[in-house]
Amino acid sequence: MISVPRGVRRRGESRLPRRTYSIRSVHGAGKPDVPGYGADHMIPIAQPIIGQEEINAVQEVITSGMLARGSYVDQFEQEFAQYCGTKCAVAMNSGTAALHSTLYALGIAQGDEVIVPDFTFIATASSVRMVGATPVFVDINEKSYNIQPEAILEHITPKTRAVIGVHLYGQPFDVRAVSEICEDHGLVLIEDCAQAHGARYEGRKVGSFGTAGCFSFYPTKNMTTSEGGMVTTDDPHLAMKLRKIIDHGQDIKYRHDLIGFNFRMTNIEAAIGRVQLGKLDAMNERRQKNAAYLQQHLPASGIVLPYCTPQSHHVYHQFVIRLEEKLGVSQDDFMRMMHERGIQTAIHYPIPLHKQPVFAHAVNGTRCPVSETCACSVLSLPVHPSISEQECRYICTQISEVV
Ligand SMILES: Cc1ncc(COP(=O)(O)O)c(C=O)c1O
C-alpha cells in the first residue's frame, strides 16, 4: 500500500485528551546569566529537557511494578498515532528497530534493493542490510540536504522494492515528488522520521505519508524516551505484523508463527515518552525561535545558512551551516575554535554512506558529489530548546569573529 499526500486524512482511532506540559528542565537551572564560556563551560550541542513530570511518571511506573511492556506503552502508542494523524503506532526500543522491523514486515529481503539517501545516519541503510537487502545510495539536494527525487529515478531497477526518505535535520524531504515516483513505479515509501517529530509537509505531519513512518526517541532527538522508537502507519495489518515481530513472532502466548525479535518498549520508556509528547510542540517552538535568531544574526558570507523549503514546517533537530571554501577553514579547525570559545559543535555526517567501510565493497562506482561535498563542509550548531537567546547571541558573536 502506498500513501500519497492528500489534504484530508482519517485521524487516529481514539481521541485521548493528550496532556501538554511546560518545558522547565531540572538540568537547566543554575546556568550563569553572564556567559563565561570556554573549554570547561560549554554550550552543549544537545540536551534533553527532563523535568519533574518525567521523574514523577517514571516513579509511578516503578512503584506499580509493571516495568515491561504494558498499559503505558498502549497509551503512548495511541497518543503518538493521534499526534501524527495515523490510524496506528507501534512502539519499540529504538529507531533502528523501527526501520528494521518495518522492512522485515514488508517482506523486503535478499535480492531486493532499497533506495536511501547517501547523506544520513548509518541506521537508514544498515537496517536494509539487516534484512539481507541491498541499500542503493542516491545523492541529496545541496540546499535542503534531503534526497534528490531525480536521482531516485536514475537508480530504479527491476529489483527496487522501496525508497526510504529521511527528513534530515528536522526538515521534510520533497514528499510530493518522492511519493509520486513510488506510486508510478510500484515502490513502497518508508519515511525515516528519526529527526523530525512534529515536522510538517504542506501542513501535514511527517510519519503520515508513507506506508510507514519510523521515529527514534534517542536522548538527542526532539523528544526522548531514553532509548526508544515508533512506527506510525495507516495499515492495521502492518501494525499487527510489527507487534508480532517485536515480540518474538508471537501471535498468542508462546505460539510463534514467525522468527521475531525482542524490540519491545518498556513502560518506563513509554511513561517518559507520554510526558515528552506533551512538551514536543513547545520544545519545537523553542528550537524554531533559536533557529530564527541564528539565521538572522549569523554572518551571511563565508558560511551557508540553512535553507527551509516553502512546503516545510522545519523542526530544527539540527541547525546546520556549511563552511564555504573561500573561508579557508576546515571543519576540524572551526570546531576547535568553537570549542575554545565554549561552543560544542558536531558534524552530521562526516562520511557519506557509500564511503563507509561497511558498504565500500558493495558500491562499485557510486558517485554522490553533493553528499561528498557536504560531508566535508557541514557543521551543526547548538539550537536545542535549553539554550537561551543570550547564548544564541554569544554563538553568533563568536562565529562572526571567526568568520
Ligand atoms: C536519520 C536516523 N535514522 C535512524 C536513526 C536510528 O535511531 P536509534 O538511534 O534510535 O536507533 C537515527 C538516530 O540517530 C537517525 O538519525
> Residues near ligand 1 with C-beta < 6 Å?
94-96, 120-121, 123-124, 166, 192, 194-195, 216, 218, 229
Query: What b/e string do you get for 286-314 counting C-beta neighbours within 10 Å, with b at 16 or more?
Result: bbbebbebbbeebeeebbbbbebeebbbb
Interval between CA 216 and ligand 1 midpoint (Å): 6
Percent of the chain residues topping a pLDDT of 70: 94
Asked if residue 353 belongs to a domain, the reply is: yes
Q: Are residues 314 and 197 in the same domain?
A: no
Please check whether residues 135 and 257 belong to one and the same domain.
Answer: yes
Expressed as residue numbers, the domain containing 311 is 281-402
Residue 25 domain-assigned (yes or no):
no
Residue 17: its pLDDT value, please?
61
Judge whether residue 56 has pLDDT over 60. Answer: yes
Q: How many A from CA of 110 to the centre of ligand 1? A: 23
Per-residue pLDDT, averaged over 276-301, amounts to: 97
Task: Give 364's pLDDT tier (boundaries 50, 70, 90).
Answer: confident
Q: If pLDDT is split at 50, 70 and 90, which confidence band does 35 have?
A: low
User: What is the SS3 assignment for 315?
Assistant: coil
Same domain, 295 and 244: no
Residues 285 and 270 both lie in one domain: no
List the residue whose alpha carbon is closest to atom 12 of ligand 1: 194
The tally of domains found in the chain comes to 2
* Distance of CA 300 from the midpoint of ligand 1 (Å): 31
pLDDT for residue 220 is more than 50: yes
Same domain? For 99 and 234 the reply is yes
pLDDT at site 30:
41
- Whether residues 219 and 95 share a domain: the answer is yes
Is the pLDDT at 193 greater than 70, yes or no?
Answer: yes
Using a pLDDT cut of 90, give the percent of the chain over it: 87
Best of 218, 221, 263 for a ligand 1 pocket test (most atoms within 8 Å of beta carbon): 218
Is 257 inside a domain boundary? yes
Ligand 1 site-directed mutation target among 92, 216, 221, most atoms within 8 Å of CB: 216
> Is residue 308 in a domain?
yes
Residue 395 has pLDDT above 70, yes or no: yes
Length of the chain: 403
pLDDT of residue 27: 58
Where does a domain end: 227, 244, 274? 274
Contacts 24+ apart (CB under 8 A), 200-204: 200/172, 200/312, 200/313, 201/5, 201/172, 201/175, 201/176, 201/311, 201/312, 201/313, 202/5, 202/175, 202/176, 202/311, 203/313, 204/5, 204/9, 204/85
Q: What pLDDT does 41 receive?
A: 85
Same-domain status, 73 and 100: yes
Averaged pLDDT of the chain? 93
Which of 274, 309, 325 is the endpoint of a domain?
274
Concatenate the DSSP letters of all residues of 74-130 into one string.
HHHHHHHHHHHT-SEEEEES-HHHHHHHHHHHTT--TT-EEEEESSS-THHHHHHHH
Tell which atom from ligand 1 comes closest to the C-alpha of 227. Answer: 10
Q: Of 45, 92, 96, which is best to mutate to test ligand 1, by the most ligand atoms within 8 angstroms of its C-beta? A: 96
Answer whether residue 386 shows pLDDT above 80.
yes
> Using 50, 70 and 90 to split pLDDT, how confident is the model at 365?
confident
Going from the Cα of 390 to the center of ligand 1, the distance in angstroms, rounded, reads 30
The Cα–Cα gap between 276 and 273 comes to: 5
Residue 32 pLDDT exceeds 50: no
Residues 225 and 360 in one domain: no
Pairing of the two strands 255-256 and 312-313: unpaired
Cα–Cα distance, 59 to 73 (Å, whole number): 15
Which one of 145, 195, 380 would you pick to mutate in the ligand 1 pocket, going by the greatest count of ligand atoms within 8 A of its CB? 195
Is a pLDDT exceeding 90 seen at residue 37? Answer: no
Q: Looking at residues 204-229, what average pLDDT do you find?
A: 98
Instruction: Convert the pLDDT of each residue in 106-125 to its tens digit.
Output: 999 999 999 999 999 999 99
| Span from the CA of 142 to the centroid of ligand 1 (angstroms) | 22
Tell me the pLDDT band of 276, cut-offs 50, 70 and 90. very high
Apex CA 94: angle with CA 239 and CA 347, to 5°?
130
Residues 343 and 257 in one domain: no
Ligand 1 centre to CA of 130 (Å) is 15
Quick check: is 153 in a domain?
A: yes
The predicted-structure confidence for 71-108, as pLDDT tens digits, reads as follows: 999 999 999 999 999 999 999 999 999 999 999 999 99
Ligand 1 center to residue 25 CA distance, Å? Answer: 24
